[in-house]
């Protein structure tokens, strides 16, 4: 489990690095992206390991990358649109 956690964190950071390099203008600060990617991958590894049990290292890392990618996708802002306040908030 220790090596799966370490591998998931490294894969989450690698996924975050790729996102920052390719989508820097549509993401918040790099610190937030790296933190979200690493924590998302760790949560994905925990979730997959809990569902499958021990002995499925590769599947656990695939689950970690999947959940990490989903959490990073939640940070992406729309292209070309400026953030405006809603009428209810004014």
- The DSSP-derived string for 17-34 is HHHHHHSGGGSS-HHHHH
At which residue do the structure tokens 């799966």 appear? Answer: 4
Structure pTM? 0.83
Q: Where are the alpha helices (DSSP H) in 23-85?
A: 30-52, 57-73
Q: Are 56 and 7 in contact (CB under 8 A)?
A: no
Place of tokens 């290292």: 57
Distance CA 33, CA 18 (A): 10
Please classify residue 66 by burial: count the beta carbons closer than 10 Å to its beta carbon, then call 0-12 exposed, 13-18 middle and 19+ buried: middle
The tens-digit pLDDT sequence of the chain (90 residues) is 789 999 999 999 999 999 999 998 999 999 999 999 999 999 999 999 999 999 999 999 999 999 999 999 999 988 876 666 666 766
């Amino acid at each position: 489990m220790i090596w799966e956690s370490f591998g998931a964190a490294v894969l989450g950071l690698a996924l975050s690095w790729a996102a920052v390099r390719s989508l820097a203008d549509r993401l918040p600060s790099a610190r937030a992206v790296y933190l979200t990617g690493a924590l998302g991958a760790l949560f994905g590894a925990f979730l997959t390991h809990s569902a499958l049990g021990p002995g499925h290292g590769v599947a656990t890392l695939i689950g970690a990358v999947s959940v990490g990618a989903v959490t990073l996708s939640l940070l992406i802002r729309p292209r070309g649109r400026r953030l405006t306040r809603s009428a209810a908030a004014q």
